[in-house]
A and B are shown apart, each in its own frame.
Chain A
């Protein structure tokens, strides 16, 4: 399919633009953090971009943890019996 026939959201060019906008917003939130005072309860919340790096690192950690646990926990879909079947589609 030609790139121009696709929905505008799926075109390569636009996806790059979306990334640029997204990164710009990320930067704005971090910069905005310099101008507000976080109430400090535990002595780390007002470090530079605390919520940004904390959110990012813990999420990476959770994905990796899930991946590692997946090695032990994942089984094929028919492990307990026949895999779940798709149901009817109703296009009306």
Chain B
């Protein structure tokens, strides 16, 4: 295969639309499409470009780059293993939506121009909204609409930015941008909305935990990591991304520490992890960019694994709150063990994937002698173990005995978890295959005695801090205020108030207009001018009068300007 005529992402999108045709076809597509997609991505010649003239522009629906290939690979893999996790329990609507969503994310990673990128970007918003919808309960529906509004807003920013950029430069190529015009700042803002950057970070923890057990697995992978990909291509080395990334890291930790819903804890930790990647992109050295890309790859695997473990618990017990859970390791030992492997990987424990990827970002901060950033990243690494690495498995599987004795997760869910757990450890022990497909050559060695000792100290003492502070971490039946307060609490009554105000004003204005017109008419009839022919026949008279007014106005305007 040397000629790719259809973007592999589009293939997934179109293939997904055939899923409702029947259960057998659906299951064949769930396994076949991602594999076919992987084959297409890797059989295409290096630097392959497909061009397509459109309205005087050269569209590039396919441009194979190293970074794009990396992200397309992990997205396809995610669709495959997510499909294995979901295909027995999930609805056809959810699987179809998830594959449209995955396909459009792959489409973004292989698009060579901003138009193609934007179209896939918007399909992603629709696909992911439908994934949330597929959970079919009231809370999910409401959350999905809020989710969609945020993403349509982000899409508008992106679209204005792209339009402005094309007008400014005449180029639609998707490449590194210089951030020297308003249009480019808008493109950056559009990307950042999808990354979960402040102020709009709340949508992740608001929407993802409302999806079905398998829905949140799919959701965790694509939107934020596509944003990481676009930032990586368009804005490497943009210093502004460093404070944004650091903020996201600590936002994720603090909110996850306050949270009671097990999947919402993991959702906050997505923001935290994407924060590491965004910081890496801001640092912008080859090693930092490698670190960000590799971390995105590893993150998709272990975050999906964590959400699968949480999803299996939710599927079996129906409970979502830490306060209702606990002690489940006794009857769900595999789910617990595999979840713990994911938890160790997210904490970048030595011999897991996180260890060999995240360290590259911190190392580049050290190489550039950025002390504050380095100390923040070190504290944050300890904090990840605190808020996700221990908190999630502890409260779900250990803690107290909830008295529930649910059976082990269904076989297909276990298979999916085993595959990803295997990758978490495999990439940690032998990272060379991952290093080989990174954008730049890797000169980094994670396994030095000093680095190992440093990480064991950092993480294990973070663990000690967790158990010392356990009395302060007692879960409460609460949610936490966030930026979404503005559009959930302030905006609806403010909108109603403004609407009522405008309605009162408009009806008042209409009344005044009518009554003053009547007053004018009565007054006019008493004047002598009304006796002339001009005004006696009402329609013609008024027409002439108004034409006079218009002409007079035109004369004044003409004189004025």
Query: Which A residues lie at the B interface, using CB under 8 A?
Result: 7, 9-10, 22, 25-26, 29-30, 32-33, 36-39, 41-42, 45, 49-56, 58-67, 69-70, 72-77, 79-92
Contacts and interface: CB of A to CB of B under 8 A. Distances in A.
Interface residues of B, number: 69
Contacts of A37: 450
Contacts of A60: 465, 468-469
A55 B465 contact: yes
A74 B371 contact: no
User: Which of B318, B406, B466 has the most A CB atoms < 10 Å from its CB?
Assistant: B318
Contacts of A42: 366, 369, 371, 374-375
B386 A63 contact: yes
A70 B374 contact: no
Determine the main DSSP class of B at the interface with A. helix
B124 interface: no
Contacts of B317: 89
B453 A36 contact: yes
Contacts of B330: 7
A62 B449 contact: no
Nearest to A43: B371
Contacts of B489: 80
6 contacts: A33-B453, A39-B450, A51-B461, A54-B378, A73-B482, A75-B480
Nearest to B367: A41
A49 B460 CA distance: 12
B369 A41 contact: yes
Contacts of A32: 453, 456
User: Which of A37, A65, A73 has the most B CB atoms < 10 Å from its CB?
Assistant: A73
B476 interface: yes
A76 B114 CA distance: 44
Given A75-B478, A87-B137, A92-B407, A59 B382 contact: yes
Interface of B: 89, 137-139, 142, 210, 250, 253-254, 257-258, 261, 314-320, 324, 327, 329-330, 366-367, 369, 371, 374-375, 378-379, 382-383, 386-387, 398, 401, 406-407, 410, 449-450, 453-466, 468-469, 472-473, 476-482, 488-489
A51 B378 CA distance: 9
A74 B378 contact: no
A69 B255 CA distance: 9
Contact of A89 (B142, B406, B456, B478): B406
A52 B406 contact: no
B453 A10 contact: no
Contacts of B456: 29, 32
Contacts of A82: 138-139
A70 B406 CA distance: 33
A82 B456 CA distance: 43
Given A62-B257, A79-B479, A53 B371 contact: no
Given A38-B454, A62-B383, A66-B258, A29 B460 contact: yes
B466 A59 contact: yes
B321 to A, nearest CB: 8
Nearest to B324: A86
A26 B464 contact: yes
A59 B258 contact: no
B318 A36 contact: no
Nearest to B89: A90
A84 B261 contact: yes
Contact of A77 (B137, B382, B462, B479): B479
A71 to B, nearest CB: 10
Contacts of B469: 59-60, 63
B386 A87 contact: no
A33 B457 contact: yes
Contacts of A59: 382-383, 386, 461-462, 465-466, 469
A86 B318 contact: yes
B27 to A, nearest CB: 19
Contact of A74 (B258, B410, B455, B460): B258
Given A25-B460, A59-B386, A76-B477, A86 B319 contact: yes
B461 to A, nearest CB: 4
Contacts of B398: 9
A77 B468 contact: no
B377 to A, nearest CB: 11
A22 to B, nearest CB: 8
Nearest to A49: B457
Nearest to B406: A91
Contact of A51 (B315, B374, B454): B454
Given A60-B468, A80-B489, 6 more contacts: A56-B462, A56-B464, A62-B254, A62-B257, A69-B254, A84-B210
A16 to B, nearest CB: 13
Nearest to B329: A9
A77 B257 CA distance: 16
A80 to B, nearest CB: 5
A51 B468 CA distance: 18
A50 B374 CA distance: 14
A90 B315 contact: yes
Given A86-B318, A86-B324, A62 B386 contact: yes
Nearest to A78: B479
Contacts of B457: 29-30, 33, 49-52, 55
A43 to B, nearest CB: 9
Contact of A58 (B142, B254, B257, B379): B379
Nearest to B138: A82
Contacts of B374: 41-42
Given A42-B374, A67-B472, A70-B258, A87 B314 contact: yes
